[in-house]
Each structure stands twice: as C-alpha cells, then as structure tokens.
C-alpha cells in the first residue's frame, strides 16, 4: 500500500486528490493539510511513501517544504511530487533541484496524478509531458556542456539507457526498445546514477541534455 500525504491550501483540490487516489486499491491517503508548516510536521510524523505538495501555500511554500523533506543533506528523504497550476521553468527547476521526484500540473488529469504517485513510490520520477521537453531544453541553456570523465565512465549500453530515459520513456518502454529485461534497465539506471552522482532519472535526463548526449543520437 502506497501511503500519501496531500498538502494544498485549496479545500476542493485536496478533496479531489483524496477522492482520485483513495479510489485506487494500492494507495491510501494518510493525511491532507492546508499549509507548508503542517505539511513538514505531519510528513515527519507519519513518514508517508509520497508527499503531494502544492507550490503556493501559507507558512512555507512547496519548494521550501520539498527542500526540508527531500533536499540534499536530508538524512532520510521522503518522496515528493510537486503539483501546481504554475507552469514556470523556475518552479520546475527549483522543485527538482530541491529533491522532488516529480512535477505535475493540476490539469494533467487523474491518470497522470496516479502514475506520478506510483512512479515516485517505486523510485522513478515523472514530469508532466507539457513541461518535460521545455524543462530539459531549459537545463541545456542554463549551463554549457561539461564533457568531463563522467561521460566516459558510462558504457555504451548505459548511454543507450540514458538517451531513452531523457526522451521520457518509462523503464518498461526502455526495455522494449533496447531488448532488455526490466531488472537490467533498473540495474543500468542505478549504475548511471552512481557514476553521475545524481538522485533520479530526471537528473539523468537533465545531465544528458546539458552535456550534448542527446545530440549524439543517430
């Protein structure tokens, strides 16, 4: 059972998310709160599998809550999915840099909301299709390529997996495309994360776009 905490300052949004998620046999909403301070307190108390956070909340905004629950230096980070109406590059970048496992727009629909929760719970990351491509291009513009020894440390198969992940493919889709088992895909991704020093597949994708790995696709 995936235990979820919802934090949003709008009562109707929280009720809607609770209804959508609560209808799933593998998901249980353990708390819903209306401000950032309470979100941090309840999340640390309940240790849910996934925290769904709005960005604009009283007390602490969702970006600061994300940093406190999942950011660099947090001893036992929680899985965070940021859900917002504000489709801004700065918000997306800050959320993912702060440790978020996913970023969704509130109009993404129930299916993506459910999948984002499940993806975060299993250690994947999901970003709304509406923002993914622009986000990765944004990462690419922010920094010049740093083709350090890190790229050379990756095997050819690992680079294939990196490119597929950077195009937004799921583990199952990567396996089907590259004729790999699901466990092999996961092993490659874990190896890549370790070699690159990144925390999730979104950071892998950002690294790939930033360092020109995607330009090498035939």
For 133-181, how does the pLDDT look when each residue is reduced to its tens digit (9 = 90+)? 555 555 555 554 555 557 778 999 999 999 988 877 778 889 999 999 9
Residue with tokens 């600061």: 64
Comparing CA positions, the residue from 35, 184, 17 lying closest to residue 117 is: 17
How confident is the model over 106-110, as a mean pLDDT?
A: 83
Q: Please, are residues 170 and 129 in contact by the beta-carbon 8 Å criterion? A: no
Which band of pLDDT confidence, cut at 50, 70 and 90, is reported for residue 26?
very high
Q: Please, are residues 132 and 114 in contact by the beta-carbon 8 Å criterion? A: no
Average pLDDT, the chain: 84
pLDDT of residue 80 exceeding 90: yes
Q: State how far the Cα of 69 lies from the Cα of 143, in Å rounded to an integer.
A: 27
98 DSSP 8-state letter = T
| Per-residue pLDDT, 18 | 96
| Per-residue pLDDT, 84 | 79
b or e along 63-102 (b: 16 or more beta carbons within 10 Å of the residue's beta carbon)? bbbbbbbbbeeeeebbbbbbbbeebeeebbbbbbebbbbb
């Amino acid at each position: 059972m995936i235990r979820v905490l919802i934090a949003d300052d709008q009562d109707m949004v929280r009720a809607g998310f609770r209804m959508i998620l609560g209808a799933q046999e593998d998901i249980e909403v353990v708390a819903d709160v209306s401000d950032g301070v309470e979100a941090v307190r309840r999340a640390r108390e309940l240790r849910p599998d996934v925290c769904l956070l709005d960005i604009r909340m009283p007390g602490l905004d969702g970006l600061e809550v994300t940093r406190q629950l999942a950011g660099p230096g947090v001893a036992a980070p929680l899985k965070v999915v940021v859900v917002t109406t504000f489709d801004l590059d700065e918000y997306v970048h800050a959320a993912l840099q702060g440790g978020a496992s996913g970023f969704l727009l509130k109009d993404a629909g129930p299916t993506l909301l459910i999948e984002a929760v499940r993806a975060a719970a299993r250690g994947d990351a999901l970003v709304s299709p509406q923002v993914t491509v622009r986000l990765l291009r944004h990462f690419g513009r922010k920094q010049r390529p740093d083709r350090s020894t890190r790229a050379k440390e990756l095997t050819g198969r690992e680079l294939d997996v990196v490119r597929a992940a950077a195009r937004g493919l799921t583990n199952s889709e990567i396996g089907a495309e590259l004729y790999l088992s699901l466990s092999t895909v996961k092993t490659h991704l874990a190896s890549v994360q370790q070699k690159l020093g990144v925390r999730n597949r979104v950071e892998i994708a950002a690294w790939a776009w930033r360092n020109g790995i995607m330009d090498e696709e035939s």
